[in-house]
Amino acid sequence: MSSSSVVSNEAPSATFFIALLAMGLGSFAIGVGEFVSMGLLPEISSSLSISIPQAGRTISAYALGVVIGAPLLAIFSTGRSRTRMLVVLIALYSLGNIASALAPNYEAMLALRLLSGLPHGTFFGIASLVAASLAPSHMRTRAVAYVMLGLSIATLAGVPIATALGQWLGWRAAFVLVGGIALVSAVCIAKFVPYEPPQVGGRVVDELSMFTNRQVWITLGIGAIGSGGLFAIYSYVKPTLMSLAGLTEMGVPFVLALFGAGMVTGNIFGSRMADRDLLGTIKRCLIWSMIVCAVFALVAPNLWLACVTVFCVGTVVVIGPAVQIRLMDVAGKAQTMAAAMNHSAFNFANAAGAFLGGLVIDAGLGYAATGWVGVLLSMAGMGMFYWMIIDARRNPELIGSAGADPRTGEATS
């Protein structure tokens, strides 16, 4: 059965949207916690008596924690109740951020930011599986996207608010705020997300089977490479528009809000497209990414056109939920591991996009060249997409299937 032909009148359960809101609050907390450091580097460096580049390494430490924590905590989650694991993971995230606010020195801050990043990938992975399991079959991508919407709203509003709080009351207050929001999410998840019993027969070896599944690796590659252009542009959008288009310091929050608004729009409308045609949406998203990245490179000197394009670049984020659903379709019994690793892949995209964007700027090609980096990464992602299609012809039941049951990993059609 083609994913594009799935027709269902099945309505969401009464607890569906409140459960998604509870998990979305957790993704909001994680989104603020991940990005708020970027706006508070001067305050952190001054408080801990370190340089701004050293303060920037706390961001890298967090990202490293995400990459390390995703597979380790996915293994730990095997055979356990996913809903209870969500509570544990977001509670650990709360603890890590509150502890970060109490860091007495640079070394402690590095260690605590790494520890704070550990639950990130597994929380999103399990939340995606739970959301998809609660959703009617025709709303799987939307369910995942609604959980991820917390990240987009964090970019749009949460990070600016937390940054302003950190500048007013000190950077430690921002991390206390993140910890508090995460703690509220833990309580809401425990109360409002339907309890899911431990998986019967869940085994570590089943989760580890992901590492020998070529379809999973190629799908992860689409996200890790194809979405890198989004981050290549976003990482340098402030200096790009300030140096080329005359953007003022006061206008920076507006531009960042436009990017966040694009993410929200992409999640809401793109996920609907993906529910109708999953593979087609991934393909179109990569093509769209090529187009908007190229346009950004061309119009960066024009402030108004660049602002419109920044909004469009933000919409590319829909590739995340779409790739997540594709992983559910091909991961078999390694559902938790594959879902968690998806967020490691996007952290890789973040790091790779920022690194390659910085490389072309340092090479003297100019800030607008980050758009061309995005084009090349999107093209590489398209190459991965066609590799996935060709490789999966050996297993045609995986192409356009209605998907795997996110609880068991078994095919649903």
Sequential DSSP letters for 109-158? HHHHHHHHHHHHHHHHHHHHHHHHHHS-GGGHHHHHHHHHHHHHHIIIII
Q: CB of 329 within 8 A of CB of 401?
A: yes
- Domains of the chain from N-terminus onward: 15-198 (1.20.1250.20), 203-396 (1.20.1250.20)
**What is the C-alpha to C-alpha distance for residues 265 and 308, in angstroms, rounded to an integer?**
13
* Six-digit token string for 72: 């380790």
The segment with the largest mean pLDDT, out of 246-255, 302-311, 316-325, is 302-311
pLDDT in tens, 334-387: 888 888 888 788 878 877 887 888 888 888 898 899 999 999 999 999 999 999
pLDDT in tens, 393-408: 876 655 444 444 444 4
What is residue 11's predicted lDDT score, i.e. its pLDDT?
A: 64
Burial class of residue 201 (count of CB atoms within 10 Å of its CB; 0-12, 13-18, 19+):
exposed
7 beta partners: none
Residue 12 gets the label, from left (phi > 0), alpha (psi -120 to 50) or beta, of beta
What is residue 395's predicted lDDT score, i.e. its pLDDT?
A: 66
Percent of the chain with pLDDT over 90: 38
What is residue 404's predicted lDDT score, i.e. its pLDDT?
A: 46
The residue-averaged pLDDT of 6-28 equals 78
More confident residue, 165 or 178: 178
What is residue 202's predicted lDDT score, i.e. its pLDDT?
A: 64
* Total count of residues recorded for the chain: 413
Mean pLDDT (the chain, rounded) = 85
Sequential DSSP letters for 250-296? GGHHHHHHHHHHHHHHIIIIIHHHHHH-HHHHHHHHHHHHHHHHHHH
* 18-49: b (≥16 Cβ within 10 Å) or e: ebbbbbbbbbbbbbbbbbbbebbbebbbebbe
